[in-house]
Structure 1
Amino acid sequence: MISIIIPILNEAKTIEDLLFHVIDHSSLETISEIIVVDGQSIDGSQEIIKRLGLRIKLLSSPKGRAKQMNLGAKEASGDILYFLHADSFPPLHFDKLIISEVKKGNNAGCFRLKFDSNHWWLRLAGWLTQFSWRACRGGDQSQFITRALFDEIGGFDENFTIYEDNILINELYARKEFVVINKKIVTSARLYRKLGIWKLQYHFWMIYVKKWLGASADDLCTYYNKYIG
């Protein structure tokens, strides 16, 4: 059984569409629960979820995606945890695809990525996610992981307020516990549209390089807040 864990912060524009999408693209017999962990939204996100009348576990957490996802994992009952960003829409039968990989012995992984944009660079960036290269990974591709492996690693590192997905992925690559499912998750290019594709991509590359050179969690957060915020 899969527990779907969705951390949100001010996602009133997308959360309703995402929840219906998740339900419509999966099988009820494979989903243990859908857990939405809110990081103190002020845009009415929680009210929207409550109003839907769906069987959703809604939790409140301090702001910070690592903290939110760890709380969701703590409350989850499934054997497989599936972490999903609020603006990323997984493919049809994503649940069965994940279970199939776990049955093969692949205890963690993600989907290929497609942006909701036709810009050539974003199409290329999405195309590159089919390969197993570490540099092509990110949280927008979603993350499935068995409960046993997640607990063994110790969950997400809550010292990181950004880059937390990549820290976990680094651990998985070090253990050779990662597979890319050859189906596409569609994610929003909203931040690229807001800041500009080349400007945002440059800052993402800088964060990646800074971490590779040994920057601390606080250093990465400071950089992100200054240039991306």
Structure 2
Amino acid sequence: MPMHPMDMPHAGGSRRQASLSIIIPTYQEAGQIGRLIAYLHNHSLVEQVEIIVADGGSIDGTPQEAQQAGADIVLHTAPGRAVQMNAGARQAIAPVLYFLHADSFPPESFAESILQAVARGSQAGCFRMRFDSGKWLLKINQFFTRLPFLFCRGGDQSLFITRQLFDRLGGFREELRIMEDFDFIQRIRQHTHFHILPQYVTTSARKYAHNAWWRVQYANFTIIRMWRKGASQDEMVATYQRLLHYRRPPAGPPKARG
């Protein structure tokens, strides 16, 4: 499917400059994406950020909702989170990129926190994460997101990176249908320190609506172990789909973390 921006002109018909490009990959996020975009606008300055939504084939009105909510650019791309995020990055104009899932709300000070971290020399990093649920077992997941280990990372925590480093790494590997975030963070860590900011992203616990806590953790552990042993994408996708009940975009399962 060819990528093409929807007609999203700014005032005056030209794009403004921005310090931070927020890139949100979406699939069937109607009812959610509008809330997130409104939140991002409410907690950042107009001249600070641009919001790019890269949609992977939604048929529920997600692109239209994103446009109406004030996204600067809405893209239609082939499905697959890595493909979508790279497409968004190609359209971004800011020197810092911020990848954010549609069901995750960053801290209110997200823009200042990220830009200040970059000004201090950080080239890449993320926030800690908590769920929008009071279940005590999910607080275990929350605790581990403050630790520096790779297995504690995941796309739910969002990810910021300088444009320069993103381009040097070649972006996300588009052949990956699963574990694209782990692969990318691993490559970042080979080049620079990965900075964990002390504030929290609040992400949806919707995955746990149809899966027991222990089952999600087992699925995550299994996929990480398979990835480290060099399992094929087909093997990992099939295993993840077998272990968890969750909505699935055409290119495979959703993120294998959380």
TM-score (norm 2): 0.85
CA–CA distance in 1 between the matches of 2:71 and 2:106?
19
Query: Shift of the alpha carbon at 1:213?
Result: 1.6
**How many angstroms does 1:142 deviate by?**
0.1
Give yes or no for contact 2:98–2:158 (8 Å, CA) kept in 1. yes
Aligned-pair distance for 1:10?
Answer: 0.1
Alignment-derived partner of residue 199 in structure 1 = 215
User: Take 2:134 and 2:94, find their aligned partners in 1: how far apart are those partners?
Assistant: 36
Match for residue 199 of structure 2? 183
Tell me, in whole angstroms, the C-alpha distance in 2 between the residues paired with 1:90 and 1:4: 11
Three-state SS of the structure 2 residue aligned to 1:35 is: strand
Segments of 5+ residues of structure 2 without an aligned counterpart are 1-18, 245-252, 254-258
Identity over aligned pairs, percent: 42
What CA distance in whole angstroms lies between the structure 1 residues aligned with 2:111 and 2:187? 23
Is 1:132 aligned to 2:145, yes or no?
no
Q: Which region of structure 1 is more displaced relative to structure 2, 219-228 or 67-76?
A: 219-228
Give me the whole-angstrom Cα distance separating, in 1, the residues matched to 2:93 and 2:187: 23
User: 2:210 aligns to what SS in structure 1?
Assistant: helix
Q: How far did residue 24 of structure 1 move?
A: 1.1
Q: 1:183 to 1:113 in 2, by over 3 A?
A: same
Secondary structure, counterpart of 2:47 in structure 1: helix
Aligned residue in 2 for 1:220: 236
Task: Name the counterpart of 1:37.
Answer: 54
Which SS does the other structure have where 1:100 is aligned? helix
- Give runs of aligned pairs for residues 29-178 of structure 1, distance below 5 A: 29-31=47-49, 33-52=50-69, 54-178=70-194
Equivalent residue letter for 1:35: I
TM value normalised by structure 1: 0.95
- The answer to which structure has the higher helix fraction is 1
Letter in 2 for 1:225: Q
Shift of 1:225: 2.7
**Deviation at residue 55 of structure 1 after TM alignment:** 4.7
**Partner-residue secondary structure (3-state), 1:29:** coil
- Quote the residue 1:24 is aligned against: 42
TM-superposed CA distance for 1:139, in Å, is 0.4
- 1:34-89 CA-partner distances (Å, limit 9, x unpaired): 1000101011112222333x252000001000000000001111100000000000
How many angstroms apart in 2 are the aligned matches of 1:207 and 1:34? 31
Contact 1:117 1:123 in 2 (8 A): no
Between the aligned partners of 2:105 and 2:173, the Cα distance in structure 1 is: 25
SS at 1:195's partner residue? coil
Question: Helix, strand or coil for the counterpart of 2:21?
Answer: strand
Shifted more, 129-138 versus 184-193: the winner is 129-138
Number of aligned residue pairs: 227
The amino acid of 1:69's aligned partner reads M
Distance 1:127 1:25 in 2: 25
**Unaligned 5+ runs, structure 1:** none
Q: For residues 73 and 138 of structure 1, what CA distance do their matches in structure 2 show?
A: 19
Q: How far 1:104 moved relative to its partner? A: 1.1
